[in-house]
């Protein structure tokens, strides 16, 4: 049986949404810097293992949250594998060849996945005309964004394909988490999902031989600081806020991070990462954002407050 958490106040829910908007927009550049000297799957697994252990300890022994059940652990492992291995892990791997701003814009297609999977798999509302129009507009924006880069040296096709698959894993895991048996405490649920996902990420890293020959001396200070940023801002703040948003906000509102994060990521990548923002990326960004906005508002059957 799924346990329901107490609904947060309107202000608290909006604060969680804003945290997701801003915090996750900065993680794309953080990931790019982290994988400069740390193998991608090992970096992701280590990041979520450290974040999960500390967050779990804080929830259980500092806040006194009850021990989770076996069923809740199984659900957390499934969610962690979908969202962290199939979602974040592939994103990290793809960012070896895909610039952080471009990766964020491709991931910005996730509301399209939300609309289709929520209706086709999780028995949500059927996409209406406005949603369908948004899907077409958004896919056109992605075509403008990635089409000329397919097969080029700078952006490899494999990286772009990995990002599209990552979208599916992340969104499916997000939607599944809304009906799975999870602890009422969003902090504990977040920690368990990180721990489950980190086990799978480290297993993949081991199978790929990423650990062989790696020493701490090979890790640059920038990569190490980036991992710390990803743990604190991306995992503790961002993921916990996302868990709250998924539980209590309408699906359309919960997915709005997808069109805010790319804007933040492009600005951060330009300001700190030396990434180029050309006319095509700006045009494609505007088209993708327009499509996502159409999907977001079209997914609402009637006007809703943030409490849904």
Q: How do residues 48-59 score in pLDDT, each as one tens digit? A: 999 999 999 999
Is this prediction's pTM over 0.85?
A: no
pLDDT of residue 308: 33
Model confidence band, residue 110 (pLDDT cutoffs 50, 70, 90): confident
62-89 per-position pLDDT tens digit: 888 999 999 999 999 999 999 999 888 8
226-262 per-position pLDDT tens digit: 999 999 999 999 998 999 998 888 777 788 787 778 7
Mean pLDDT score of the chain, rounded to an integer?
A: 83
- Report the residue count for the chain: 308
pLDDT of residue 196: 95
Q: Is the pLDDT of residue 2 over 60?
A: no
Identify the weakest region by mean pLDDT among 172-176, 272-276, 287-291: 272-276
Q: Is the pLDDT of residue 202 over 90?
A: yes
Which bin fits 140, alpha (ψ -120 to 50), beta or left (φ > 0)?
A: alpha
Q: What is the mean pLDDT of residues 1-28?
A: 80
Q: Which of 29-33, 126-130, 170-174, 253-257 has the highest mean pLDDT?
A: 170-174
Cα–Cα distance measured from residue 102 to residue 149, given in angstroms and rounded to the nearest whole number: 10
pLDDT of residue 149: 53
pLDDT of residue 58: 93
């Amino acid at each position: 049986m799924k346990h329901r958490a107490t609904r947060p106040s309107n202000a608290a829910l909006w604060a969680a949404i804003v945290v997701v908007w801003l915090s996750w927009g900065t993680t794309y550049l953080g990931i790019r810097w982290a994988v400069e000297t740390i193998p991608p799957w090992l970096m992701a697994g280590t990041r979520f293992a450290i974040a999960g252990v500390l967050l779990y300890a804080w929830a259980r022994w500092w806040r006194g949250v009850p021990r989770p059940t076996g069923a809740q652990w199984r659900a957390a492992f499934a969610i962690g594998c979908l969202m962290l291995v199939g979602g974040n892990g592939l994103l990290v791997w793809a960012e070896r060849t895909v610039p952080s701003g471009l990766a964020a814009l491709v991931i910005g297609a996730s509301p399209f996945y939300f609309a289709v999977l929520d209706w086709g798999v999780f028995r949500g509302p059927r996409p209406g005309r406005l949603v369908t129009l948004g899907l077409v507009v958004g896919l056109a924006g992605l075509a403008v964004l990635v089409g000329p880069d397919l097969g080029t040296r700078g952006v490899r096709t494999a990286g772009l394909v990995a990002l599209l698959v990552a979208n599916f894993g992340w969104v499916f895991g997000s939607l599944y988490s809304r009906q799975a048996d999870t602890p009422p405490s969003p902090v504990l649920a977040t920690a368990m999902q990180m721990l489950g996902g980190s086990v799978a990420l480290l297993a993949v890293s081991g199978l790929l031989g990423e650990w062989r020959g790696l020493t701490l001396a090979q890790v640059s200070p920038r990569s190490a600081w980036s991992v710390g940023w990803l743990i604190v801002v991306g995992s503790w703040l961002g993921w916990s806020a996302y868990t709250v948003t998924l539980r209590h906000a309408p699906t359309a509102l919960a997915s709005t991070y997808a069109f805010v994060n790319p804007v933040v990521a492009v600005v951060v990548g330009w300001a700190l990462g030396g990434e180029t923002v050309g006319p095509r990326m700006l045009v494609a960004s505007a088209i993708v954002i327009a499509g996502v906005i159409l999907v977001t508002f079209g997914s609402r059957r009637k006007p809703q407050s943030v409490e849904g």
